[in-house]
Amino acid sequence: MIRVMLVDDHALIRRGLRETLTEAGDIEVVGEAGDYAELRSLMRERRCDVMLLDLNLPGRSGIDVLKTLADEDSQVRVVVLSQYPEDQYGIRALRNGAMAYLNKSADPARILEAVRTVAGGRKYLTPEIAHLLLDTVTGKGDGAPHEQLSDRELQTLLLIASGKRLSEIADALTLSPKTVSVYRSRVLEKLGVASNAELASYALRHRLIE
């Protein structure tokens, strides 16, 4: 049996994933977590082979989870399931240790295939991710300004574009408002925009938010 942990802050999504995985017959869901703190507690109590991880978590992001697992030399293999398009976070997730990146709208059969592939020790690449990797290798990516942002800067951009206040972003990223303000200034400069409204417009134009 492939032991899987589900990490997503939406209970309904976890429920749907649990049903899909359990019905497969060769996969066992050994635990669920809705945020970073719950995940750390769960990992101290139970072992898993594969983690299905959302990037948008309260407290610390999925990218932070990937970095922590890498720092701890964890043997857990991670499949990222995100609402964000592949061209926004897919390559970042793989660079930080994920073995697969799928959009939450992916067909259940593809999710099962990804879990089984990753459990076997191999990366699972969707056609979208494979295309992005090819563009990266051949230097044919579009080179959009947001691709030069750090992980924290990109998180800040997305949260501002989603209408979050600096204090809310600080809580979400477990940073001080002053630090978030510094990230905001860097994002404005790198993207060549002057306001939160222009940030939101940029994010919509590049399909970073819906």
Whole-structure pTM value:
0.77
* CB 118 within 8 Å of CB 50: yes
The domain ranges of the chain are: 2-138, 145-205
Place of tokens 């459990």: 119
Helices within the chain (DSSP H only): 11-23, 36-45, 62-71, 86-95, 108-119, 127-138, 151-161, 166-173, 177-191, 196-205
Distance CA 127, CA 151 (A): 24
What's the pLDDT score for residue 138? Answer: 64
154 closest CA partner among 75, 93, 97: 93
**Letter for the amino acid at 41?**
S
pLDDT surpasses 90 at 80: yes
Give the CATH number of domain 2-138: 3.40.50.2300
Structure confidence at residue 61 as a pLDDT band (50, 70, 90):
confident
pLDDT digit string, tens, across residues 135-181: 666 655 556 788 788 888 888 998 898 888 999 888 888 889 999 99
Same fold, 2-138 and 145-205: no
Token pair, residue 153, equals 């800067």
pLDDT > 90 fraction of the chain, expressed in percent and rounded: 49
CB 61 within 8 A of CB 55: yes
For residues 187 and 64, what is the distance between their CA atoms, to the nearest angstrom?
19
Residue 59 has pLDDT above 80, yes or no: no
Q: Is the pLDDT of residue 210 over 80?
A: no
State the distance between the two ends of the chain, measured CA to CA, in whole angstroms.
37
Question: Span 145-205: which CATH code?
Answer: 1.10.10.10
